[in-house]
Structure 1
Amino acid sequence: MADRERFKEALGPLIAEIMADFSQRGIPPPQKDQFGRCLTENIQGGKLNRGLTVLDTGHCLLQRPLTTTEFQDLSTLGWLTEMFQAAYLIWDDIMDKSEYRRGKPCWYRQDGVGLAAGQRCLVTEILNFRPSLEAFRSTSRDLKFIELFNEVGIRTELGQLCDTTTQLWDRAQDDYLDVYGDSSLTGRVGTDIRDNKCTWFVVETLCRRDVKQRRVLDLSYGRWDDVAKDKVKKVFQDLYMRMVFGKYKIEKTDNSNRLRKEVFELILGKIQHRDR
């Protein structure tokens, strides 16, 4: 498995390179510092699954320990992946009107940020390509990585419109954590019930409810008060929805075991039993 601490150490030089690029472009210090804060606060504090998976994948494919240069190059690519993801998380929080991310107020809710967060996260995404050009230009891999990030971006956005087995399973996990997750672990307070979202939980509940329970859901689901939220959760409890989800989880995990390749098993292992 990847060396998490060594990976973290690779972030500082990369941010310094980005800030130096800003200075060369003549960006005024206040704006540069503001963006630097956006960058550091939004790519740190998470599980780093994406960045570390880049390192783990390199190790799996090479079947030997990484050289110092290979570790540095893969760490750079891993952090670019984390930055890429951070941009989407900022947008996602704005669209969902989320309150917390990783135990802190969402970036757009912090003092002096607001909806300007959207502009900054766009810059964050664009900046992925600047360091990758510098780090990989000598090996002629820079354009391939730019194409890769572009393709991932397109697929991420189109993926919001499509249902696949993996997406549905991951969505169901998120819906479960929104209702039953420990906010000290997930870093966010669930709002799906108050936001009247069409989640896995409410759809499955509607398939099992009786007339009285349907009445409770009609009156309480989508209301912004704790009493209504507790009534909805009581319906979930009466219908043993946590047990229903547990059976669904086992079924979907078993069905995904056909992905035997080591890299895919590694990724599945990171998310299969996640609690945040």
Structure 2
Amino acid sequence: MLDYNVPGGKLNRGLSVVDSYMLLRQGTEVDDEDFYLACVLGWCVEWLQASALVLDDITDNAYTRRDNLCWYKLPTVGMSAINDGVLLKCHVQAIIKRYFKEKFYFLDLMELWNEIGLQTAMGQMLDLITTHTGAKDLARYRIQGYRRIVKYKTSYYSFYLPVACALLLNGARLGDYVELKNVLIEMGVYFQIQDDYLDCFGDPEVIGKVGTDIEDYKCSWLIVQAMELADENELKILYENYGKSDPACVAAVKNVYKELDLQDIFLEYESRVYKHLVSTIDAEPDRAIRDIMKSFLKKIYRRKK
């Protein structure tokens, strides 16, 4: 189960712990033990990611993940995958206790992980509730609600958690890095919007999964934009076809997206956010923090500049 679910992705989140820690320590010698502990925390992030994906795939009725069948889709697994997802998350706490119990920042580290775990679960809850209400009235999908879902479900654990782990490992106080946290959260929102875009317009062979946001009635960035821009006829098409697994219905929704030029709107949004993040990063006086921000931006910004 571990081999199937933990190491199959790009490992960006886990590697970000190590990368961030090394950037914080640039100019100083890092011994083997400190580097090893950074790797331990990196793997903890990947275990948390695996837990989230195993459970998320079930709630989304997803079919593929990382070029393979979703774990719960295997005939020998089924709904026992729910317990596997919980098991993955529980082991993170055990690993942290084993390796960091004697460290002076142990309580801060445990508090961080408990907080992130709660925020991520609340984000998933918001996603499910919003999808349920949206199925009754598609007009309830609005950008404010969308950003709230993304902030809690994705940004905290994917962007803030790796850097916060590195900061604690380096002896820092997280309260001193509020602006860094805000920038990372904003990067997480951009990352999810990009993911929503690729779910519809990306090549499954490139992104490693078959997009199902339309069929699953997801409150994605694309449907939020479409509901704001569509005319009466386009709204009628969206109401009649969104959330249905019929390929013809999916094609009808995608055709509305294309008529509304959502691909161009996304590219304009992407360019605007990129420029804003670059200017924010350039204004950061701390070289190490600036370099950490740059490393994250480089990972998530897929278009060649």
TM-score by length of 2: 0.71
RMSD across aligned positions (CA)? 2.3
1:58-73 matched pairs, under 5 angstroms: 58-64=21-27, 66-73=30-37
1:30-109 matched pairs, under 5 angstroms: 38-64=1-27, 66-109=30-73
Match of 2:116 among 140, 152, 173: 152
3-state SS of paired residue (2:211): coil
3-state SS of paired residue (1:85): helix
Say yes or no: does 1:199 pair with 2:220. Answer: yes
Query: Which digits, 9 at most, give the CA deviation of each residue in 1:99-151, with x for residues without a partner?
Result: 11101111111122112111121111111122333323454554443333212
Q: What amino acid maps onto 1:264 in structure 2? A: M
Distance 1:158 1:223, change over 3 A: closer
Distance 1:230 1:71, change over 3 A: same
Say yes or no: does 1:186 pair with 2:207. Answer: yes
Identical amino acids, percent of aligned pairs: 33
1:217-232 matched pairs, under 5 angstroms: 217-232=238-253
Q: What amino acid maps onto 1:51 in structure 2? A: G
Instruction: Report how far residue 72 of structure 1 moved.
Output: 1.7
1:4-19 matched pairs, under 5 angstroms: none
Instruction: Report how far residue 211 of structure 1 moved.
Output: 3.1
Instruction: Report how far residue 71 of structure 1 moved.
Output: 2.1
Distance 1:193 1:256, change over 3 A: same
3-state SS of paired residue (2:209): coil
Q: What amino acid maps onto 2:21 in structure 1? A: G
Say yes or no: does 1:212 pair with 2:176. Answer: no
3-state SS of paired residue (1:198): coil
3-state SS of paired residue (1:128): helix
TM-score by length of 1: 0.77
What does residue 273 of structure 1 align with? 302
Instruction: Report how far residue 159 of structure 1 moved.
Output: 4.3
Q: 1:129 and 1:208 mapped to 2: Cα distance?
A: 45
Q: 2:113 and 2:228 mapped to 1: Cα distance?
A: 40
Q: Which runs of 5+ in 1 are unaligned?
A: 1-37
Q: 2:32 and 2:303 mapped to 1: Cα distance?
A: 31
Q: What amino acid maps onto 1:226 in structure 2? A: P
Q: How many residues align?
A: 238
Q: 1:207 and 1:101 mapped to 2: Cα distance?
A: 31
Q: What amino acid maps onto 1:235 in structure 2? A: V
Q: Which runs of 5+ in 2 are unaligned?
A: 127-147, 152-184, 285-289
Say yes or no: does 1:115 pair with 2:144. Answer: no
Q: 2:20 and 2:56 mapped to 1: Cα distance?
A: 27
3-state SS of paired residue (1:207): helix
Q: 1:66 and 1:49 mapped to 2: Cα distance?
A: 21
Say yes or no: does 1:263 pair with 2:302. Answer: no
What does residue 177 of structure 1 align with? 198
Q: What amino acid maps onto 2:226 in structure 1? A: T
Instruction: Report how far residue 58 of structure 1 moved.
Output: 1.3
Query: Which digits, 9 at most, give the CA deviation of each residue in 1:217-259, with x for residues without a partner?
Result: 2332222121221222122222221001111111222233314
What does residue 100 of structure 2 align with? 136
Q: 1:121 and 1:208 mapped to 2: Cα distance?
A: 39
Distance 1:134 1:219, change over 3 A: closer
